[in-house]
């Protein structure tokens, strides 16, 4: 795999076919996903919605290549990741997925710049280029002035913007955000949602996982999950 | 992730929990410094003994009834049955050994010595031939004169005292001509010998030399004598011993097959005995000390396990961002090795301080030079071993961290 993002092949960015995810709890089998199929095109803005326990977190883990399906195929940019091992998945996550978490998940002891550098470190990119790219990424979220600050010296909204800069720094195929406004007040939340809209306009593919209807409504398409199945898939 | 990055990361993380890192390092530090210090002490003791023993005289030897060191009660009983060494033997060796420049005689006992109302306990009372001070390491005098031939021939009442007695009895007073009392007999001091210090707290200056004839008059002539011999040169040292041995065997009418019924002792033989006696002790000491390094390793492993548990969420984030197993493994291993290696380096410094302190302390106690050298190989070994300890101790925690499931790790908060 090369470090540079290659032009997306024709066809969908994500093709999920009959995804099942089954957890074994003692003697019991719990089906968190029961045959989910969908396709996502490049530059889409999709929200995945569902109440807690619906299986939306499980689906997010599969989309984010943190986990593999028990059954079914997950094809990301033409590559079937369903049967990949841990290290192959790590590489796919590094290059294709930009995670944005509800709790930001920044490293507390590292500066904003160092946090943004982290995916580049694991991609094996040399220090100078790393710093340059991380700075550019921070500029994109208007935080270039705060790059030497530690997370605890930043506001919640600023922290989430650092996390978004980190998610963008590798030029991923998907920006995958899990309740990105869950720990923010409404005003800051709206700012972040505005940032996502801008990023989508600039060509990024965004998948938003949330249980809040008004957050989901920022997206152009809402996939509603209930009991491990897709209940509705509406474009707006 | 490149190695330099892992090192930088490890340093950051160690700096961020300074107290814990220090306590972890302490375990290794103690282990390493005790290993190095023990090696240094052993080394120092060996060279100290070697120098002291060789000081006894490198080309002198003694012929005596019993060996210097007896290892069992049975041996002692057996040795007791041997014939005493007599003045006639001394004379025979003097005549029969032409490679010997000096053949002297010495016989000793232990008594309290008094001067006025001052008493010095357990003084070594030695009856010696006039050439005694010229055999082995030379003892010069700081006052008065040596015993001379006429003293011995006429059993004259004149003694040379050691520096301890000088200190105890006379201080800054003139000692020559004073009368000291041993077993209510008076002896006239004619000389004071120079100070030699002590070996293992045993003073070498607590003695009285008197003519051997006088000694035999007062303390009996049936004591076994130690023949003191100085060989002509180092080259003929062995041959001189053989000559003395032949003389003695002829006098004892020993068959070809029979073993000697006397002992010939040299500085070398004492040294050999010292080495063989202490080797086992050294090995055991070193082993016991090395256990402290294992304890240090356990501390490192413990701390690393805590660290992995505490940083589960961080590991999850790193994995989500693309860290592979080996990245996480390396991160924690490097951290453990740095901890332990740092402990090793500090341990070396600690050992140097300890060795220096010990040198001056023991040196003071023994009134002589005692050097506990910190050997380069011991330092290299200690740092290598401590790093290896870190590696081994870090392996399990690091592989646990590397094997964490990213989904589960991300959930940990």
Give me the residue from A101, A105, A123 closest to B322, CB to CB.
Answer: A123
Record: contact B413-A103, CB cut-off 8 A: yes
Mutate to test the interface with B, among A90, A151, A162 (most CBs of B within 10 A): A90
Cα separation, A155 vs A140, whole angstroms: 18
What pLDDT score was predicted for residue B360? 77
B120 close to B113: Cβ distance less than 8 angstroms: yes
CA–CA dist B308, A119 (Å, integer): 20
**Cα nearest neighbour of A170 on chain B:** B321
Residues 6+ apart with CB under 8 A from A210: A47, A48, A49, A179, A181, A182, A216
Report ipTM for this prediction.
Answer: 0.91
d(CA B410, CA B412): 5
Boundaries of every domain in chain B: 3-53+277-411, 83-261
Residue of B nearest to A114 (CA): B9
> With an 8 Å Cβ cutoff, is B177 touching chain A?
no
Helices (H), B101-220: 149-153, 163-165, 212-219
Residues of A with CB under 8 A from a CB of B: 61, 64, 66-67, 86-87, 90-91, 93-95, 97, 99, 101, 103, 105, 107, 109-110, 118-119, 121-124, 166, 170
- CA separation for the pair A152, A135 (Å, rounded): 19
Interface test with A, best of B17, B321, B325 (most A CBs within 10 A): B321
Would you call B319 an interface residue with chain A, using a CB distance cutoff of 8 Å?
A: yes
CA distance A96 to A90: 10
How many CB contacts within 8 angstroms connect chain A with chain B?
63
CA–CA distance, A181 with A212 (Å, rounded to integer): 10
**Which chain B residue has the Cα nearest residue A119?**
B321
* pLDDT in the model for residue A2: 45
For chain B, list residues with pLDDT below 50.
367
**In this predicted structure, what is the pLDDT of residue B57?**
60
Residues in a beta bridge with A175: A98, A206
Structural domains of chain A sorted by starting position, each given as residue range(s) with its CATH number in brackets: 43-67+95-235 (3.40.50.300)
Inter-chain contact B314–A107, Cβ cutoff 8 Å? yes
Nearest to A180 by CA among A198, A162, A192: A192
Give the chain A residue whose CA is nearest to the CA of B316: A105
Disruptive mutation site among B311, B319, B320 for chain A (greatest number of A CBs within 10 Å): B320
Residue B77: HSE in the Cβ half-sphere, 13 Å Cα cutoff? 3
Q: Does B324 touch chain A (CB under 8 A)?
A: yes
pLDDT given for residue B199 in this prediction: 66
Angle formed at CA A131 by CA A130 and CA A137, multiple of 5 degrees = 90
**What digits encode the pLDDT tens for the residues B264-320?**
988 777 777 777 777 888 888 888 887 888 888 888 899 899 989 999 999 999 999
Chain A, nearest residue to B323 by Cα: A122
A17 phi and psi angles, rounded to 5 deg: -125, 115
Q: Which of A52, A59, A88, A107 to mutate to test the interface with B (most CBs of B within 10 A)?
A: A107
Chain A nearest-CA distance from B347, in A, is: 29
Q: Which two tokens stand for residue B178?
A: 């004073």
Residues for chain B: how many in total?
413
Q: Do B313 and A105 touch (CB under 8 A)?
A: yes
E strand or H helix that includes residue B247: helix B237-251
Question: What is the rounded CA–CA span in Å between residue B345 and residue B25?
Answer: 10
Specify the pLDDT at position B18.
85
Please name the member of B321, B324, B410 whose beta carbon is closest to the beta carbon of A87.
B324
Chain B residues with CB-CB distance to A90 below 8 A:
319, 322-325
Residue B297 is predicted with a pLDDT of: 87
Beta bridge partners of B123: B111
What pLDDT score was predicted for residue A3? 47
CA distance A143 to chain B (A): 20
Any CB–CB contact under 8 A between B1 and chain A? yes
Contact between A66 and B314 using a beta-carbon 8 Å cutoff: no
**Full pLDDT tens readout for chain A, 236 residues:** 444 555 545 679 999 999 999 999 888 999 999 999 999 999 999 999 999 889 999 999 999 999 999 999 999 999 999 989 999 999 999 999 999 999 999 998 889 999 999 999 999 999 999 999 999 999 999 999 999 999 999 999 999 999 999 999 999 999 999 999 999 999 999 999 999 999 999 999 999 999 999 999 999 999 999 999 999 999 98
């Amino acid at each position: 795999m090369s470090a540079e993002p290659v032009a997306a092949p024709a066809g969908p960015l994500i093709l999920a076919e009959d995804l099942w995810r089954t957890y074994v709890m003692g003697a019991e089998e719990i089906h968190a996903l029961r045959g989910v199929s969908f396709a996502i095109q490049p530059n889409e803005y999709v929200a995945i919605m569902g109440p807690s326990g619906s299986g939306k977190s499980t689906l997010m883990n599969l989309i984010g290549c943190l986990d593999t399906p028990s059954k079914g195929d997950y094809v990301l940019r033409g590559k079937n990741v369903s049967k990949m091992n841990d290290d192959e998945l790590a590489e796919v996550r590094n290059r294709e997925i930009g995670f944005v978490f509800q709790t930001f998940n920044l490293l507390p002891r590292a500066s904003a710049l160092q946090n943004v550098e982290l995916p580049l470190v694991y991609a094996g990119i040399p220090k100078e280029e790393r710093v340059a790219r991380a700075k550019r990424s921070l500029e994109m979220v208007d935080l270039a002035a705060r790059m030497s600050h530690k997370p605890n010296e930043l506001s919640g909204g600023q922290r989430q913007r650092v996390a978004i800069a980190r998610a963008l720094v590798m030029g991923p195929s998907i920006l995958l955000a899990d309740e990105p406004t869950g720990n923010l007040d409404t005003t800051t939340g709206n700012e972040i949602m505005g940032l996502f809209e801008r990023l989508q306009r600039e060509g990024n593919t965004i998948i938003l996982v949330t249980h809040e209807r008004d957050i989901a409504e920022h997206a152009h398409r809402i996939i509603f999950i209930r009991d491990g199945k897709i209940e509705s898939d509406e474009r707006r | 992730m490149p190695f330099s990055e892992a090192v930088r990361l490890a340093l950051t993380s160690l700096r961020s929990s300074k107290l814990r890192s220090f306590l972890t390092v302490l375990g290794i530090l103690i282990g390493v410094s005790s290993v190095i210090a023990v090696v240094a002490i052993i080394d120092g003791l060996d060279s100290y003994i070697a120098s002291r023993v060789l000081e006894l005289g490198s080309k002198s030897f003694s012929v005596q009834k019993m060996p210097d060191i007896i290892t069992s009660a049975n041996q002692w009983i057996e040795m007791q049955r041997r014939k005493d060494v007599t003045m006639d033997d001394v004379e025979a060796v003097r005549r029969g050994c032409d490679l010997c420049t000096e053949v002297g005689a010495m016989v000793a006992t232990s008594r309290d010595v008094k001067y006025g109302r001052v008493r010095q306990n357990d003084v070594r009372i030695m009856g010696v031939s006039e050439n005694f001070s010229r055999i082995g390491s030379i003892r010069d005098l700081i006052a008065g004169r040596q015993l001379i031939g006429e003293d011995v021939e006429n059993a004259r009442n004149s003694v040379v005292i050691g520096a301890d007695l000088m200190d105890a009895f006379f201080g800054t007073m003139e000692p020559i001509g004073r009368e000291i009392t041993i077993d209510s007999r008076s002896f006239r001091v004619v000389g004071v010998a120079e100070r030699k210090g002590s070996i293992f707290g045993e003073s070498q200056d607590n003695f009285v030399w008197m003519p051997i004839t006088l000694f035999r008059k007062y303390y009996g002539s049936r004591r076994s004598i130690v023949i003191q011999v100085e060989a002509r040169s180092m080259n003929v040292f062995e041959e001189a011993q053989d000559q003395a041995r032949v003389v003695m065997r002829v006098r004892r009418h020993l068959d070809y097959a029979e073993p000697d019924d006397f002992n010939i002792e040299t500085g070398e033989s004492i040294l050999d005995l010292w080495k063989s006696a202490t080797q086992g002790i050294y090995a055991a000491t070193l082993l016991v000390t090395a256990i402290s390094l294992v304890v240090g390793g356990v501390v490192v492993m413990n701390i690393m396990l805590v660290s992995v548990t505490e940083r589960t969420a961080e590991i999850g984030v790193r994995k989500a961002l693309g860290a592979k197993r080996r990245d996480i493994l390396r991160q924690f291993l490097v951290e453990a090795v740095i901890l332990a290696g740092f402990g090793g380096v500090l341990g070396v410094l600690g050992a140097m301080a300890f060795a220096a302190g010990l040198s001056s302390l023991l040196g003071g106690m023994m009134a002589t030079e005692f050097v506990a050298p910190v050997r380069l190989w011991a330092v290299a070994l200690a740092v290598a071993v401590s790093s290896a300890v870190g590696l081994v101790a870090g392996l399990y925690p690091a592989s646990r961290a590397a094997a964490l499931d990213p989904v589960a790790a991300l959930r940990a908060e």
